[in-house]
Amino acid sequence: KYDSAAVYFERALAASPNYEDAYVGYIEDLFWEGNYEKAEKVLNQGLEKIGPSSVALKYRKSRLLNYRESYKEALDIAKEVFQADPKMEGLMAYIRNLQRLTRVNAVGGTYDYDSFMGAI
């Protein structure tokens, strides 16, 4: 029930506009809903109120760029987040996935081995 949650997040932000966890929760709710335009507005509002030093909000900005398929920019921000908080859970896997998505060329190979005993 994304709409119900959004009402409570908006109330929390109105009551305490400098509460980082309310921004993070609201952005996550909007990500799950798939409302990336609204998530960007809330994210920008949070970065304006709390400041660009917020690691949690920078990580969400990277994820927003990932959802919009701006993988290079998302990777750059994710690396900044890693420098600030290398112990963030799941961050390394996220970075590896972004690195995979930014590759231009990829080479793959397969092979088969058939063994025939006797006449064909």
Q: What is the pLDDT of residues 77-106, one digit of tens each?
A: 999 999 999 999 999 999 999 999 998 776
* Residue 108 predicted with pLDDT over 80: no
* pTM, two decimal places: 0.79
Using a 10 angstrom Cβ sphere, with 0-12 exposed, 13-18 middle and 19 or more buried, the burial of residue 32 is exposed
At 119 the pLDDT is: 65
Using a 10 angstrom Cβ sphere, with 0-12 exposed, 13-18 middle and 19 or more buried, the burial of residue 95 is middle
For Cα atoms 51, 52, 56, give the angle at the middle one, nearest 5 degrees.
Answer: 95
Q: 114 is written with which tokens?
A: 């058939």
Of 8-17, 37-46, 104-113, the poorest mean pLDDT is in: 104-113
At 120 the pLDDT is: 59
